[in-house]
Amino acid sequence: MTRTTPEIQQGLLITHDSLQAIKVDTPAWFTWLTEHSVFRFTSSSGKFTARKEQRFAGWYWYAYRRQQGLLRTAYLGKSEEISLARLTEIAGLLHTIHPQNPPITGTPAQQFLLTTKITPPTLSSALIARPRLIDSLRKHAASKLFLITGPAGSGKTTLVSAWLQDLSIPIAWVSLDKDENELTHFWHYVLAAMQKIYPVLAGQLLCLLPTLQSGNMESFLIPLVNALGTLPEDVMLVLDDYHTLTNQQVHESVSFLLEHASDRLHIVIVSRSLPPVPLARLRARRQLMELGFNELRFSGEEAESFIQSLTERRITSEELAQLLEQTEGWVTGLYLTILAWNRGGSINATYPSVVDGDQQAIFEYLASEVLARESAQVRDFLLHTSILKHLQAVLCNAVTLQTGSQDILHHLERANLFLTRLDNPQNWFRYHHLFAEFLRTQLEQVYPEQAKILHSRAAMWYAQNNQPAEAIAHAVQAGDFVQAANFIEEQGRSLLMQQEILILSDWLCALPSEIVCSRPRLCIFMSWVSLHTAYPASIEHYLCSAEHSLQGNDIDLGEARELHGEIAAIRARISIYQSEIQQSVEYSQQALDCLGERDHYMRGEVALSMGTTSMLLGEMWVAQESFRVAINLSWDCGNLRAALLAVRSLANLYVSQGRLYYAHRLYQESLERIRQIGQEHIPPLGFVHVGLAEIYYEWDELDAAERHARQGIALGQ
């Protein structure tokens, strides 16, 4: 059978309806792309079929390849962006990435992120089944976007949790709040949620987060879309409380994902309001499933079941009808009315409607019908713990300076007082968002001076329990920037070693600039952040601020000397980038003269710089020894990035000297060491795989060379 689909081979497009082939990357090629909608691509990197498809913002090309019965897809771009290099890159990507990898132990970033934000809420044992809504969701299972909107307390999150509980596909859940308004922070949490189900895939994408800070979203989003296109199964991404986000860049990035991601990705947005994403286009393509407040309202049967779960008192059909009319089927309105009824109130009491948007009336109702009916001890507990996003008995004891928090939490849970259990093993809870907002308002009115004190106590508890992210957040909210700075000074080195540059940057940016510039260690951390995120212009400013503050601060002489050593180490690295090799050598020596012998992390960094400068000066034996020192020191302190960079540099020297077996052994020892600590997903390991590929190519072991090359490319994506 004659093939009619145009095909690219060896950089030439063969159209089968023309005797003359078209060379890719020429004007004729780009003109052809604007006039046609499909072609095949074949190269040594892989093969795929490309199709042009219409999206919200125009026409785009996508690559498709079926492997082992699974159709994988990747985003190519607009017609003017389809170069030979781009085609080759995507062919390799579709051939290489396989997200079905075994779970990886040890995800350092989770120490600095709130894991409760990426954990679906636990369903209450008193859950009311809503088969009509869940059946509707199931019938639209192929939708790209599921949009669940309604006022606070209308059962949105509970419905989604109940629906997803019975699904047999992987689920990534993110509970959002105003902290995720920063673009990088938002995607950090999304990838952390993805990492729980696809650890290798998400681990590779995490290293691209710094590109978002440059303002070029597509440098992150295109690899993200392409990686998701390799998923072997459908996956659900839930973005709960999306209405808390106001950053237009976040909305644009989510819109890009909705427009270009593979149909295997389904996004669930749970929000109080309609999100600014391309809903009209999705509706037109029948890729949008919507449930609004009209659908979320309780029917008579659902309301009756719900009321029976809350009270032993009998309700008549007339009372039920009146209650439904009064609350308009709003679940929280039903709940509040029955709560008041159980406490002696009237079932006919007038309740403010959330539909009218009368939040002040709702707060007044909560104050008179809920808060006022509790004991003074419980009232104070509710107000004082309202500053916490998540609650646990020991934490609440520390914040309230009381010892009965466990009993009060059990009382609140038994009484259904707006408390949601997050996870069973550690007994973590959270207040309903509307109730928490009400409690914080009450706290400001009743105890206006207490909020900062309570935040300060929470900061101390989190710090003592090795949860630095929350400790710093509460210290900042307490206005205690000195305490926050102390916490960052304690944790900053660990973040640098684990390559959590973005988290460290977020923490430092939360402090006033005068605090940062007055503390030499914070200035040094900011310099490392600038160095790693390609903002070299600001580095010298922070280094000079560090030196200036060292003169005015009452710092131990030994510590001051080591800080001067770290300043010199950073300048040594910058000098290499500026091709000032001799200046780098001098700074490295200054650093070694000042740094303590036990500071393996910083001495390893200096040794890496010295190895590089020696190599550039042609002093190969000196370079080898420096790289060996860098490797040993960096392994010892857990600085995997520096260790693998030094391994790659030393192996390159071995290869240049014809000592391929030495290089091969060094690479294999490094791979085994990384496997033993379960860190096979880290991007710097790509250097090792690429190095092995080069060696196997020299030995004419082409299958092994290709295997390692593809692994290296995948880790470096």
- CA 600 – CA 610 distance, rounded (Å): 15
Environment class of 178 (CB within 10 Å of its CB; exposed 0-12, middle 13-18, buried 19+): exposed
User: Global pTM?
Assistant: 0.62
Contacts of 623 (CB under 8 A, 6+ apart): 611, 612, 614, 615, 649, 653
Look-up of token digits 């929000």: 271
- CA 150 – CA 330 distance, rounded (Å): 10
Segment 62-116, tens digit of pLDDT: 888 876 556 677 778 888 889 888 888 788 777 654 444 333 333 444 556 777 8
| Confidence at residue 103, expressed as pLDDT on a 0 to 100 scale | 33
CA angle (433 as vertex; 429, 438 as ends), nearest 5: 110
pLDDT < 70: residue spans in the chain:
1-3, 16-19, 55-57, 67-71, 95-112, 124-127, 213-215, 340, 342-362, 365, 369, 416, 423-426, 499, 534-536, 552-553, 716-717
| Confidence at residue 355, expressed as pLDDT on a 0 to 100 scale | 46
Residue ranges and CATH numbers for the domains of the chain are: 7-96 (no CATH), 108-292 (3.40.50.300), 300-372 (no CATH), 374-448 (1.10.10.10)
The CA dihedral of 442, 448, 452, 453, to the nearest 10 degrees, is -100
- Measured over the CA atoms of residue 207, residue 209, residue 212 and residue 214, the dihedral's sign is negative
Environment class of 606 (CB within 10 Å of its CB; exposed 0-12, middle 13-18, buried 19+): buried
| Confidence at residue 357, expressed as pLDDT on a 0 to 100 scale | 44
CA separation, residue 477 to residues 100, 487, 510, 512, 620 (Å): 41, 14, 10, 13, 53
| Confidence at residue 535, expressed as pLDDT on a 0 to 100 scale | 65
DSSP 388-431: -SSB-HHHHHHHHT-S-HHHHHHHHHHTT-SEEEEETTTTEEEE
Enclosing H/E stretch for 168: none
| Confidence at residue 19, expressed as pLDDT on a 0 to 100 scale | 66
Q: Residue 157: phi, psi to the nearest 5?
A: -65, -40
Contact present, 510 and 476 (Cβ < 8 Å): yes
Contact present, 328 and 297 (Cβ < 8 Å): yes
| Confidence at residue 520, expressed as pLDDT on a 0 to 100 scale | 93
- Measured over the CA atoms of residue 675, residue 679, residue 681 and residue 683, the dihedral's sign is negative
Pairing of strands 38-43, 7-9: parallel
- Measured over the CA atoms of residue 125, residue 131, residue 134 and residue 135, the dihedral's sign is positive
Residue 288: strand pairing partners: 145
Q: If you count them, how many residues does the chain have?
A: 717
Tell me how far apart the 2 most distant CA atoms of the chain are, in Å.
94
Environment class of 444 (CB within 10 Å of its CB; exposed 0-12, middle 13-18, buried 19+): middle
- Measured over the CA atoms of residue 248, residue 249, residue 253 and residue 254, the dihedral's sign is negative
Establish how many alpha carbons lie within 13 A of residue 353's alpha carbon, considering only the half-sphere containing its beta carbon: 11
Contacts of 687 (CB under 8 A, 6+ apart): 644, 645, 647, 648, 712
Residue 608: strand pairing partners: none
Question: What residue type is 435 in one-letter code?
Answer: F
Which parts of 197-356 are beta strand (E)?
235-240, 265-271, 288-291
Question: What residue type is 375 in one-letter code?
Answer: S
- CA 32 – CA 539 distance, rounded (Å): 48
Look-up of token digits 């389809």: 82
Enclosing H/E stretch for 602: helix 600-616
3-state secondary structure of 77: strand
Q: 273-281: which pairs have CB atoms within 8 A and are 24 or more residues apart?
A: 273/149, 273/243, 274/147, 274/149, 275/147, 275/242, 275/243, 275/251, 276/248, 276/251, 277/145, 277/251, 278/56, 279/145, 279/147, 281/55, 281/56
- 3-state SS of 654-703 is HHHCCCHHHHHHHHHHHHHHHHHCCCCCCCCHHHHHHHHHHHHHHCCCHH
- CA 498 – CA 207 distance, rounded (Å): 12
Q: 475-481: which pairs have CB atoms within 8 A and are 24 or more residues apart?
A: 476/510, 476/511, 477/387, 477/451, 477/452, 478/452, 478/453, 479/452, 480/452, 480/455, 480/456, 481/511, 481/512, 481/515
DSSP 322-365: HHHHHHTT-HHHHHHHHHHHHTT--TT-----GGGT-HHHHHHH
